[in-house]
């Protein structure tokens, strides 16, 4: 018999705050957050074949194929640190991914789904001001929560940078792709 796991699925458009909420849930329940975006960024940093392919798609504002994402998530949720549960940040993003993920859920698991709705204009402003630390993962915003010293992480002192996809044009393309998925799924589910 499988142990009972707590599975939290956070849904919402790009920049909705899924990662922030995942960290809060992690601190309360002690289960790891799993971000498909972070998994893909790790592949990009490793310059794996998958990472190189994904980088071109992401930088253009597109979405990586379901097949690739499904395999990465399935591998990740089977890791030892997910024994008691996990938090999915933005996955599944469509019906096909949900169907694929269903095979990873056990009958005794507790499943929670939270959908975060955001305004694209506010998110665009926030994301174009986002800064992150490549060393420790700390997040800042140059307008609403800047680091104490410009361009330097408060936690570890490393140089802060912007993600390549935190450009207005790319953000708007990501929202357009996200809305297209929602429209397509609403039609299919009806």
For 182, phi then psi, to 5°, come to -60, -45
Q: Catalytic annotation on 93?
A: yes
Peptide bond into 92 cis (omega under 30): yes
With contact defined as beta carbons under 8 Å apart, do 139 and 41 qualify? no
Catalytic hit among 174, 179, 184, 188: 174
Q: Catalytic annotation on 163?
A: yes
Catalytic hit among 28, 71, 93, 110: 93
Q: Catalytic annotation on 174?
A: yes
Q: Catalytic annotation on 130?
A: yes
Catalytic hit among 5, 18, 41, 76: 18
Residue partners of 189: CB distance under 8 A and separation at least 6: 95
CA distance 89 to 56: 22
Catalytic hit among 130, 162, 167, 188: 130
- Which residue do the tokens 């938090």 mark? 87
Catalytic hit among 26, 163, 167, 172: 163
Residues with catalytic function: 18, 93, 130, 163, 174
């Amino acid at each position: 018999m499988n142990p009972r796991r707590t599975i939290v699925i956070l849904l919402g458009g790009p920049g909705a705050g899924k990662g922030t909420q995942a960290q809060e849930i992690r601190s309360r329940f002690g289960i790891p957050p799993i971000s498909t975006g972070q998994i893909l960024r790790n592949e990009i940093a490793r310059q794996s074949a998958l990472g190189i392919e994904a980088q071109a798609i992401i930088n253009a504002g597109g979405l990586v194929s379901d097949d690739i994402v499904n395999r990465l998530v399935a591998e990740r949720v089977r890791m030892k640190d997910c024994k008691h549960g996990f938090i999915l940040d933005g996955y599944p993003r469509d019906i096909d991914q949900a169907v694929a993920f269903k095979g990873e859920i056990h009958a005794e698991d507790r499943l929670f789904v939270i959908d975060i709705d955001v305004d694209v204009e506010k998110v665009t402003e926030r994301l174009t001001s986002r800064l992150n630390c490549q060393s420790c993962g700390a997040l800042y915003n140059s307008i609403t929560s800047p680091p104490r010293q410009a361009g330097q992480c408060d936690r570890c002192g490393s140089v802060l940078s912007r993600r390549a996809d935190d450009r207005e044009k790319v953000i708007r393309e990501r929202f357009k792709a996200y809305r297209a998925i929602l429209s397509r799924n609403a039609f299919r589910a009806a």
